[in-house]
Structure 1
Amino acid sequence: MPGMADPRFAHTVIYMCAHSGDGAMGLVVNKRSDSIVFKELLEQVGVDDCTIRRDIPVHIGGPVETARGFVLHGGGYDHKGTMAVSDGIGLTASVDILREVAGGGGPENCLLALGYSGWGAGQLEQEIQQNGWLTADADEDLIFGADLDEDRWRTAIGTLG
């Protein structure tokens, strides 16, 4: 098992959104917020003028910039602020996508996270080398499977064989 000493990352599954020589950024996809619900978040960002037709859980994406929201989503949704993360997965950080999702539109598969997990240049590689993390291929079912939140870590570990 990985030897990450930071308790904030115990049993976390992190989807890596960006990784370069400058550093890395990812979202924890298996930790729901106990204190923030979608309706309250919408009110906080000024989206209180629409009828909520779709409610989604709010996840804690990581300890960095926890007031900033990100929507990780399946392909087929394209917004001017959408960043293509990989084939079939995008990342959008705008109030517009929250309004669309609340109204019943937007991407079918999506995960809303507040904050992100970030690493400086070479930091993630060093933590992996020191057995701080295990790595696995990304899997859309693992990321977006609504019933998997508490079991995502076990499911991800199971893919390693």
Structure 2
Amino acid sequence: MLNPIKPKTGRLLISEPFMSDPNFKRSVVLITEHDEDGTVGYILNQAGNLILKDVVQDLWEADNLIYFGGPVAADTLHFIHRCYDKLQSGEPIGNGLYWGGNFETLKILINTNAIEENEIKFFMGYSGWGNGQLDQEIEDNAWMVSDISNPEIIFGNDDEQLWRDVIVNLGPKYAHVSNFPIDPSLN
């Protein structure tokens, strides 16, 4: 499944359908940082069983789902948003998306209902690769790389469908992969 698109900030990593690492099985990862030191990103399609008000006590009505961002620093909270106009902070990722920002301002905005749930996504932990590690995994066909066709997909909550949609978006050469069963022995 050789993929000519290279990883960079603002692109998606799509796990191959039978990846054995349970942390990344059928995962779509948004790359938020990619440079000579390595790569950082967040798994977009692994909803956890916590909601924001369970983790941050003074966000009394925040019902945002918290996603598993990855196995690194799994006890840390992170967020991606598309509301820079309201938050006035965050690192640009591209496509009107931002990573992080002023958390105190964010809490005020959430508590005053100034931010919609579909403008922000929260993660426990993150995914990280050292220098050259991700390139090797891509060469080993563990990952495919894609541009974001529609930023709306970042904030969706249909985990399995997201993986399928981004595979299909890679084009006809890859579309058949979206129909592979989760367990190939059931085929």
Question: Would the TM-score normalized by the shorter structure come out above 0.5?
Answer: yes
Percent identity between matched residues is 29
Q: CA deviation at 1:112?
A: 0.7
The alignment of Structure 1 onto Structure 2 pairs a total of residues equal to 153
Q: What corresponds to 1:30 in structure 2? A: 45
| Structure 2 residue identity aligned to 1:143 | I
Would the aligned equivalents of 1:69 and 1:93 in 2 still touch at CA under 8 Å? no
Q: What corresponds to 2:92 in structure 1? A: 84
| Structure 2 residue identity aligned to 1:68 | T
Measured in 1, the distance between the counterparts of 2:139 and 2:77 equals 30
Per-residue deviation, residues 10-39 of structure 1 (Å, max 9, x unmatched) = 0011000000111000000100112x2222
Q: CA deviation at 1:102?
A: 4.0
Would the aligned equivalents of 1:69 and 1:114 in 2 still touch at CA under 8 Å? yes
Q: What corresponds to 1:125 in structure 2? A: 135
Q: CA deviation at 1:94?
A: 4.7
Measured in 2, the distance between the counterparts of 1:101 and 1:15 equals 23
Q: What corresponds to 1:141 in structure 2? A: 152
Task: Give 5+ residue unaligned stretches, structure 1.
Answer: none
- If the length of structure 2 is used for normalisation, what is the TM-score? 0.73
| Structure 2 residue identity aligned to 1:123 | Q
Measured in 1, the distance between the counterparts of 2:160 and 2:111 equals 24
* Higher Rg: 2
Matches of residues 55-94 of structure 1 in structure 2 within 5 Å?
55-77=63-85, 79=87, 81-92=89-100, 94=102
State the superposition RMSD in angstroms: 2.2
Q: CA deviation at 1:145?
A: 2.4
Would the aligned equivalents of 2:42 and 2:123 in 1 still touch at CA under 8 Å? yes
Higher relative contact order (CA 8 A, sep 6+): 1
SS state of the match for residue 56, structure 2? helix
- If the length of structure 1 is used for normalisation, what is the TM-score? 0.83
Task: Give 5+ residue unaligned stretches, structure 2.
Answer: 2-15, 172-187
Measured in 2, the distance between the counterparts of 1:156 and 1:75 equals 23
